[in-house]
Amino acid sequence: MRPYFDTVLRPATYAERDLILPWRNHPSVRAVSLTTHEIKPEEHAAWWEKRWQTVLIYEDDRGVPAGVVIFNENTWSFYLDTEGLGDRQLAAWMRLEKEAIDYAFGTLGLETLGGETLEENKQVLALHRRFGFKETRRYERLVDGVPKTVVWTERGK
């Protein structure tokens, strides 16, 4: 097992395109995403062509790819391989969040980092609070045609 402090985020390789699609399409991930439809392989491939070089892969404590972190300027998002991680999800969320923050403020040199979370995603909002994110606003957003409350959380370096 790798020590907790080892880097667990790394740049995605082009070949990992099809690895991450089932993670994103998992019902529990889709349920708390800003787009909840099942992403078809063609849609994913088009997105991957544009964005793959900005995708980071999270590796679990065994060194196995188990999640994704995406930065878009000073905004971030992530999801995990919920099925593959099973009951190790909480530990993975915590490791991923710590590493993503370190990456944002270290490697990327950001001064602030923020993101959108659906109000109903209480676990992730609690995780963000634990890592120093503060709620700065709430707003309504259509999520696949349904109005949902989005919580914007942010933290500084």
What pLDDT shows up at residue 148? 96
Is residue 4 scored above 60 in pLDDT?
no
Over residues 37-58, mean pLDDT: 95
Phi, psi (deg, nearest 5) at residue 5: -85, -5
Is residue 97 scored above 50 in pLDDT?
yes
Residues 6+ apart with CB under 8 A from 52: 12, 14, 16, 17
For the chain, domains (ranges, CATH) are 9-112 (3.40.630.30)
pTM of the model: 0.89
Q: Write down how long the chain is.
A: 157
